[in-house]
Structure 1
Amino acid sequence: MAWGALRAIARREWIRHWRGIVLLGVLAGLAGGCLVTGAAVLRRTATASDRLVAAVAPGDLRLQVFGEGVAEDVPGLPGVERAVVGGIAVARVEGRGFVYLGTFLPQGGGELLRPVVIDGRVATGPDEVVVIEDVADALEVEVGDSLHLAYLEPEEVAQFDVGFGDPDGPEVEVRIAGIGRVPSGVMAGTPVVASTALAERLEEAVAGRDVYVDLADEAGVRPAFEQALDDLAADAERPPGAEELPPVAVIDPLEGTRDAARSTGVLVAGLGVAVVVASLSSLVVAWQSLMRHHARTAADQEVESALGLTSAERSAARVLPLVPAALLAIVVAATVAALGAGLDPPGAVRRMEPSPGWRLDLPLVAGGAVLVGVVVLALGERTARRAGRRRSGSGAVASSRARRLAPRRGGWTLLGATFALSRAGAGSRVTAGASVAGAMVAVAGLVASLVVGASLGRLLDEPARWGWGADVAVVDVTDAVLADLSADPRVGGVTELTSAALAVGGTEVQGYGLGELRGAPSWTMVEGRLPRGTDEIVLGLHVAAAEDASVGDDLPVGDRVLRVVGIGVGPPLGGEQLGRSVLVDGPAMELLAEVQLFREALVVAAPGEDAGALAAALAERYEISVREQPRAVRDLADLDVLPPALAGFLVAVGVAALTHGVWVGAQTRRVDLAVVRVLGAERRHVRLVVVAMAGATAVIAVVVGAPLGWAVGRLAWGEAARGAGVEADVALPASVVVAIVLTLVVAPLLAYPPGRRAGDAAPRDVLREG
């Protein structure tokens, strides 16, 4: 290799184009830094749940113990490596209406169950507590605030379902020392964590025990533990008044985490699509820019080739000046990514992040920044080699095509389309390849973003699509309450639902029994109909997917076999994951349930009545649940900023790709256009040729990109909707048609300035320059 010649060429390239090279490095670094930041947020989002579980360490099992003498013996059972025992006490929050909170009373420290304190500190004083984040938000309290808690006596806790009057246990004024964060479902029912000193003061209010257990990771350990636990529970006595409570309830503490992980997957998929599309678009723009940069020296490469330099040597000589740009891109990308390390996971996943705030993912940032520099050099080498290919008689080709096409009606338009889709010599691939690809990616991504955005907007605007067709639910109703609701003139409809856990196909899910329909919608049917007899069942979408069941199938439920007559979406009144529930007829529920049924009523406001005012009035007399988005829908709602943001980015990319393609296309076809002028074309004909080049690029982008975008949008929304447990039908917004029309209209407008410039150029001067 002629090293001296390479250095001379590289030095000349740097002197002539150093400003553009520096600008390229800065822009590549900014774009790369944003992409690395997006990848870091994506990784932080995807791992947040697992990292929170590792930080809190809730163990393998949670035991709620109401049998006397059981909790103390659990740590000694076979297979138990670690265990933490705490008391359960229930208190009414004075001055907050019908609000009761469970309190976890720790009995000493341990390696299990360490709530992450995201604000304040761990509770240590005799009147201090840590409140779990969700409840702190619901109560609108923060570190330093006080709560007046009136505790129930153990007997009153056992009578909670039938009423007990005012709490008769100890009353304490507690101060919030910290706000805690735990995985979804962990510490459910006990969101107040007392200090050890406070736990000693409240011992007389303990109604049960919480035991978190970590089992040894060995084969056969779990069955041995469960058998020993069953033997222990069989001999346990329950306190007076708690005979209906099981002596030991075994709970999977990570069930909520697994459900949340499914919802997190939707958010991760959305972020992943945005990062991939942005990466592809950035690569297209970088390719175009470097092609234009190297196309300026195509003639120089012909001279260098004649002097004996190989293609590899000529491209290497042009990569050397890009090394400073690559190094600058690495520095800028790393800086941007480091600044972006303060971004928490978006949406509901933010509440799963155990280390909120600035968190530098050093391997990803360093590796991503280096990759940006490598990509700059790799693209530089490929575009330099492509631009150095020998020209192939473009003037003769243009002459031949012009003679054949110009005499025809619309011949100049056909000639422009031909120019747009064919090679014209050095640099021609900018127009025929990268420009079309960039516009196509932009149109496809734009259409996909609009489809997903419209489908998401419709879901959020229509609560019935996620099961909540009613305005409010009244909890723990009786026949008298149902009668009062039906007689209330402000109520337009009431439907009773009974509920209990059911074993469906071997998996326990939340079951609902449909009472008499009185004008209040119960479930939103996706397929089939509501159940009408004791041998029929409607499945939630997640249950149907898990059991691979469809309408017409028979499915074991408990000790019976029911016919699936529908698949639908119901309100998650029991706090279950959306779609993980089933609906049967009321009498069927009485036959299937093995425990006492819980009764609720779905209520809709009468025509002309304000639903909010009705809910407020009912809350004065009953315990209610107002309509609010389930977690899965909230996770989808957190994505609502992505479609418009991605659409705006892709509009910018599309305009840049078309503009760049038109200008570079006109530049690389300047000799062809000059030959056309010599053959008798007028200035307006040349302008028409350039406009047709842009129009052909836009038409291809629309013809290929729009159907591709529709397919991608449909696929993306289908995955997101199924992951959330809602119907996966897509919406086709009018904005898609507007986007297509604007693409076809804007492209010719962008072509007018370069077309006018090409038409005004003197053919003699252009042909002399070659």
Structure 2
Amino acid sequence: EKEFTRLTGIENADFQNLDDAAQHTRDVTSFEARAMLLLALTALLASMVLLGVAISRYCTAALADLEVLRAFGLTPTQTRFACASGPASAAVGGVVLAGAGALWVSRWFPVGSAALVEPSPGTSFDPLVLLPPIIIVPLLVVGASLVSLRSARRTNESAGRVSFVDAATSTWPLTLGLGTRFALSGRSTRNSASGRSALLGSILGVTGVVGALTFAHGIADATNSYERFGQTYELGTFLGAGGQDFVDPPSTLAAIATDPDVDGVLDTANDVARTDSGSVSLFSYAPVENPIDVVVTEGRLPTTSSEIALAPLSAEQEGVGTGDTITLAGPVGSATLTVTGIAFVPAAPHNGYASGGWVLPDAFQGLFDGFRFHFGLVSTRPGSDSQAVIDRLASEGIDLGPGPIMPPPERGELAELQTVPLLLAAFLALLGVGAVAHTLASTARRRRHDVAMLRALGMRPRDSGAIVFVQAGAIALVGLIVGLPLGLVLGRTVWRSVALDTPIDFVVPRNWSALALVALAVFATAALLAVWPSKRLATLQLSRELRSE
């Protein structure tokens, strides 16, 4: 650019680096790839946690039978092999089916922005991705089984100890106390199921759903509001181009400002200044009566002709921040300006909303002898009809059009990200529902003898069935108490990271109605899952259960 300026003498030439567009595509697809990787890792970790608890429960239940067989000659090695063989076989089958499913699903990949540039989409067999899990996952399952076997033996040795939960609920009404114990019990024995898997599943499910809804709300807010991209005006008009005005700007903008539904008007000229490392598209800031809002993410707008507010990407390109100085050159002269803030600019034909800068008219005229484009930007009052404003001013010979001048493509790119967290939330919710359902069913099966004895001592059938509903309610309550704040923090943290990387104006997502619906859905799901186990305990055949006991 400097050499071009030296040879031609043109100070305000506008260069378009085509590699920047390619790099932007690479950045977007890389971000989407990282999001998919995060989805996969989260699913893997959640599966490992829940399957680890399931393996622990399996080994605990099998330990008593295996210990009996040791009296008939079963060696410790054979005991460990018998404990690990079941989970390992299930792991091998699951990994093979998962690999086949992944290969089948690959026909629809890639998704998002990558689908527009992928040269060979369709089914893809990648041995480095599909084959290692066939070996690694069964080995991990075997290791978890052996660790669970040792832990189960230690648990049986300490089974006589009274837990904190048992002590705390010992004075509660019987139904309430038993249901709470079953939900919060951390120990798993032959005749009782640990509540850890259900609690973890409930927490993970609520966290995933709340986090995804929070993130999705942030995306929906951004994609439905140009203001998040700094485009705070609803209407605009071209006043001139190439240094020549088409109309008389002062009278035209003054007439626009008198419309009852117009909230603010900005007279802004645009041209390109040269810097030490490239060029910056500058906009003059000249409000007409009430100004339009400008999204300032740091610092403030300039108030003197020696100041400038840079857009985020331009500040990054020049390596400057608030308080630093930047030297600009134009056809008329050069100037060293102090950066007073970071602010979005109007998206114009030769710049995006995050590239450029704001200066006052005096500073602009000190660099340029005219302008490349001359705009009038108009913001309307909340709730007003923009088309009605256009029609009224058209009757006066003023040509207005809907803004923004150049809709930012980042809106569509953000919308592509909305599906990923929802898929993750659905996966975690299914894992949570499965874990809770399994625990409630295990309670009805393993505790039926204990409940039968209580029934024989006078407990009513509906009270025995209510135990499962109390257990389900306690699991749901713990999931909400822990999962709601975790999900909010997770969703807001991820959305803040995305907003800063895009960049857009970060606004904290607040969707309280969705959170209330999540809470209702969690309790309703827990109640539905408890119906069948509760009925099973309420309809026990006492004679058969007590005889078997």
The two structures have a TM-score, normalised by structure 2, of 0.78
- CA change 1:571–1:653 in 2 (3 A) is farther
- CA change 1:555–1:612 in 2 (3 A) is same
Shift of 1:302: 2.8
Shift of 1:706: 1.1
Candidates 2, 25, 32, aligned match of 1:267: 32
Q: What is the correspondence of 1:19-58 to structure 2 with a 5 Å cutoff?
A: none
Candidates 87, 108, 114, aligned match of 1:349: 114
Pairing 1:732–2:497 present: no
- CA change 1:250–1:720 in 2 (3 A) is closer
1:302–1:388 Cα contact (<8 Å) kept:
no
Name 2:526's counterpart in structure 1. 747
Distance in 2 separating the partners of 1:756 and 1:503: 78
Name 2:331's counterpart in structure 1. none
Name 2:182's counterpart in structure 1. 419
Which one is further off, 657-666 or 381-390? 381-390
- CA change 1:679–1:509 in 2 (3 A) is farther
Distance in 2 separating the partners of 1:503 and 1:428: 78
Distance in 1 separating the partners of 2:156 and 2:547: 16
1:520–1:602 Cα contact (<8 Å) kept:
no
Amino acid at match of 2:132: G
Distance in 2 separating the partners of 1:517 and 1:611: 21
Shift of 1:748: 3.9
Q: What is the correspondence of 1:579-594 to structure 2 with a 5 Å cutoff?
A: 579-592=354-367
Name 2:440's counterpart in structure 1. 662
Shift of 1:386: 5.6
Name 1:257's counterpart in structure 2. 22
Distance in 1 separating the partners of 2:176 and 2:191: 19
Higher relative contact order (Cα pairs below 8 Å, separated by 6+ residues):
2
Which one is further off, 478-487 or 342-351? 478-487
Distance in 1 separating the partners of 2:156 and 2:449: 12
2:91–2:141 Cα contact (<8 Å) kept:
yes
- CA change 1:671–1:459 in 2 (3 A) is same
Name 1:132's counterpart in structure 2. none
- CA change 1:550–1:319 in 2 (3 A) is same
1:495–1:515 Cα contact (<8 Å) kept:
yes
Candidates 262, 272, 286, aligned match of 1:515: 286
Name 1:495's counterpart in structure 2. 266
| Corresponding residue SS for 1:481 | coil
Distance in 2 separating the partners of 1:419 and 1:659: 13
2:297–2:343 Cα contact (<8 Å) kept:
yes
Distance in 2 separating the partners of 1:352 and 1:472: 34
1:471–1:602 Cα contact (<8 Å) kept:
no
Distance in 2 separating the partners of 1:745 and 1:604: 49
- CA change 1:538–1:304 in 2 (3 A) is farther
Residues 79-127 of structure 1, C-alpha deviation per residue, up to 9 Å, x if partnerless? xxxxxxxxxxxxxxxxxxxxxxxxxxxxxxxxxxxxxxxxxxxxxxxxx
**Which one has the bigger helix percentage?**
2
The two structures have a TM-score, normalised by structure 1, of 0.58
Amino acid at match of 1:533: T
| Corresponding residue SS for 1:630 | coil
Distance in 2 separating the partners of 1:542 and 1:495: 23
Distance in 2 separating the partners of 1:397 and 1:759: 28
Shift of 1:650: 3.3
Name 1:568's counterpart in structure 2. 343
Shift of 1:649: 3.3
| Corresponding residue SS for 1:750 | helix
- CA change 1:764–1:298 in 2 (3 A) is farther
| Corresponding residue SS for 1:497 | strand
Identity %: 23
Name 2:325's counterpart in structure 1. 555
Unmatched tracts of structure 2, length 5 or more: 329-333
Pairing 1:435–2:198 present: yes
Shift of 1:456: 1.0
| Corresponding residue SS for 2:131 | helix
| Corresponding residue SS for 2:204 | helix
| Corresponding residue SS for 1:414 | helix
Distance in 2 separating the partners of 1:369 and 1:637: 35
Residues 237-262 of structure 1, C-alpha deviation per residue, up to 9 Å, x if partnerless? x7xxxx7489x998755333334444
- CA change 1:533–1:547 in 2 (3 A) is same
2:187–2:193 Cα contact (<8 Å) kept:
no
Name 1:598's counterpart in structure 2. 372
Distance in 2 separating the partners of 1:481 and 1:393: 90
- CA change 1:513–1:267 in 2 (3 A) is farther
Candidates 610, 617, 636, aligned match of 2:387: 610
2:292–2:379 Cα contact (<8 Å) kept:
no
1:555–1:561 Cα contact (<8 Å) kept:
yes
Query: Over aligned residue pairs, what C-alpha RMSD do you find?
Result: 4.4
Shift of 1:713: 0.7
Aligned residues: 527
Amino acid at match of 1:431: S
Distance in 2 separating the partners of 1:362 and 1:597: 58
Shift of 1:516: 3.7
| Corresponding residue SS for 1:511 | strand
